[in-house]
Structure 1
């Protein structure tokens, strides 16, 4: 939850409780006094200053580009060095005067200029055409800038360069795992944890997705399903996020909650992909035989174990259902062989139950993103079942009707079991 929105809600609750006589005015005042001051946001002046700075930078780049061939090599390189020095100096001045947003922007511009310098040196001196290596070097420089300045923008630049680097390496060597990216990702995750920054946590969560997607699409398995590899990645992200959020540290809780949100949405997307690929809405399979890599299976099992461990620590029933959702999605992927006649009804049922467990898990734990992810997953699975290319539409309608009746019966029984206050 963002600090400003939380403060607004807390202030409204305190005023209401004070008016209703629930708490004394002195207690409300002490609560307000105990809260730390809010960090200054981005006001109109800062927005205008950012736009002005970007316009000046764009004018400078356009001028340099117009006279690029006329500028000597050393002068080009000196211009880029001067750009990095000016960005760093302005960033230090803004940080010293308390204008942290502008300081972060300057650090980001410096990181981007560093990448331009790498490209320029490679072009001028005809260095090796290892473009992926250049992206790695850019990522290292941006990470160093983020570590020294605490810039979220520099961290974003470093993660973006690292994602391009790993995608290129996976493409170049499709039959080997590119584990080096995980080292860079763990460094970024450690920075997000040390900074206690929700923005950095979102960047870290987003950055892990391209590695899983690239690995699932390019890994040279004998008939492996990309959706199965993605399912195990989503399971590990979801389960590990829940386990990290169960730690007693507030920093770990915030980082883990963000990771679990992205894991829940990834699980919903994978559920739709499993239905879409099995019914040939999208051709992602490479052969009829199925041979899933052991490391992906281990990642999925670890995700389930992490979710159950988190449920054991927090004593939340919703996280048990989250583990069930992860397990059902993993079980659904290898249920059907592609050459088997008929339709994979058990897989359809497993995916629907998984998304229903995800929704109920979010309701029990009061986690709205998890609820949204579950509803999106239910909609995607139903859409995939209904508009599949092959199979009898009449049988599909009968299956959906039976599933709906079972869900209504389950809801009725659950309503009778729950206390009236929890309905």
Structure 2
């Protein structure tokens, strides 16, 4: 929730409660006094300044590029070094003046210039064409800038470079699991935890997705269905996020809540992919070999279920028990598909529908709106995948969906009677 939006809503609630006599005017004044001041936002002058700085930087780069061949090698290298020094000095000056947004922008531009310097130096001196290695060097420099300056933009540059690096390594060596990305990602996660920044938490949550996607696609040669490998990654991200958010530290709670949100949406996307890819709506592999999964991926999925149950034990939240059930059902659907290769995997369809329903109910019980949205999107995706599958009888599918609807209505009736009136 954005801080200003929350303050506006709180102010409206305080005024309404004071007018209705729910709280005394002195209590409302005490609440307003206890609130810390709002952090400085980005005003129009800052936005115009950012655009102007970017235009000047683009003009400088265009001028240098136009005369690049006419500039001596030593002068080219000096220009790159000067660009990083100038952006660093400007960032330090803006930080001293309290202009944190502009200081962050300067650190980000410096990190980008560092990456351009790596590419240009390699081109000037005809170094080995190890593009993945260059991306790793770029990410190391950007992470160093983020560590020294606290720049979220530099962290984003480092994560983008690291993601490109791991994707290229996975493509170059599909028979080797690229685990070197894991310590890099953990370093970025440690920075997000230390900064207690929601923006940084979103960045590290997004950065783990390319690694899982590249890792799942590389197993296509081994006969494993990529969506099943992705399911284990989504399970681990979701369960680990819930477990981290269950800790008493506010830093851990902020980081874990963001990770769990991305895990919930990833789980919903995987449920849709399981239906569409296995039922031949989308072809991700040429053969219909047994959908075996690597052992390490299975262990990751099981760890996600265990971590979600641990979180439910610590927080005493009923919704997190259902979240663990949603994770388990999505993982259970993977081995069900090869059971009936001649027919349709009705049990797998039912498991995925139940998983997405559990995700919705979990979000309702814990009052976590992103989890509710993810569950509804997952239900829509699974129903669409079942309805528009290429093979099988449409009449049988309509009967299955009707039966699932009756079961859902019966479950809703039982839940309405079981829950207290205030929780309905």
Structure 1 and Structure 2 fold alike (TM over 0.5): yes
Match of 1:13 in 2: 13
Residue 198 (str. 1) matches residue 191 (str. 2):
no
Residue 234 (str. 1) matches residue 237 (str. 2):
no
Q: Deviations over 1:290-334 (max 9, x none)?
A: 321110000000000010000001100000000000000000011
Between the aligned partners of 1:156 and 1:7, the Cα distance in structure 2 is 29
Paired residue total: 423
Between the aligned partners of 1:79 and 1:64, the Cα distance in structure 2 is 9
Where in structure 2 are the equivalents of 1:202-213 lying within 5 Å?
202-213=202-213
Q: Secondary structure at the match of 1:405?
A: helix
Are the aligned partners of 1:174 and 1:220 in contact in 2 as well (CA < 8 Å)? no
Between the aligned partners of 1:229 and 1:184, the Cα distance in structure 2 is 21
Q: Deviations over 1:3-40 (max 9, x none)?
A: 22222222222222222222222222222222221111
CA separation of 1:338/1:64 partners in 2, compared to 1, >3 Å: closer, same or farther? farther
Q: Structure 1, unaligned stretches of length 5 or more? A: none
Are the aligned partners of 1:272 and 1:381 in contact in 2 as well (CA < 8 Å)? yes
Superposed CA RMSD in Å reads 1.2
Are the aligned partners of 1:132 and 1:164 in contact in 2 as well (CA < 8 Å)? yes
Between the aligned partners of 1:61 and 1:290, the Cα distance in structure 2 is 50
TM-score (norm 2): 0.98
Match of 2:322 in 1: 321
Are the aligned partners of 1:288 and 1:339 in contact in 2 as well (CA < 8 Å)? no
Q: Secondary structure at the match of 2:323?
A: helix
CA separation of 1:339/1:328 partners in 2, compared to 1, >3 Å: closer, same or farther? closer
Segments of 4+ in structure 1 off by > 6 A? none
Q: Structure 2, unaligned stretches of length 5 or more? A: none
Q: Post-superposition shift, 1:120?
A: 1.0
Q: Secondary structure at the match of 2:335?
A: coil
TM-score (norm 1): 0.98
CA separation of 1:338/1:288 partners in 2, compared to 1, >3 Å: closer, same or farther? farther
Between the aligned partners of 2:243 and 2:292, the Cα distance in structure 1 is 29
Q: Deviations over 1:326-363 (max 9, x none)?
A: 00000001111187101000000000000000000000
Q: Post-superposition shift, 1:220?
A: 5.7
CA separation of 1:27/1:176 partners in 2, compared to 1, >3 Å: closer, same or farther? same
Are the aligned partners of 1:170 and 1:176 in contact in 2 as well (CA < 8 Å)? yes
Range 359-368 or range 175-184, more displaced: 175-184
Range 213-222 or range 177-186, more displaced: 213-222
Are the aligned partners of 1:222 and 1:287 in contact in 2 as well (CA < 8 Å)? no
Between the aligned partners of 1:228 and 1:354, the Cα distance in structure 2 is 15
Q: Post-superposition shift, 1:287?
A: 4.2
Where in structure 2 are the equivalents of 1:337-352 lying within 5 Å?
337=338, 340-352=341-353
Match of 2:74 in 1: 74
Are the aligned partners of 2:220 and 2:226 in contact in 1 as well (CA < 8 Å)? no
Range 86-95 or range 219-228, more displaced: 219-228
Between the aligned partners of 1:146 and 1:222, the Cα distance in structure 2 is 39
Match of 2:264 in 1: 264
Match of 1:281 in 2: 281
Are the aligned partners of 1:212 and 1:233 in contact in 2 as well (CA < 8 Å)? yes
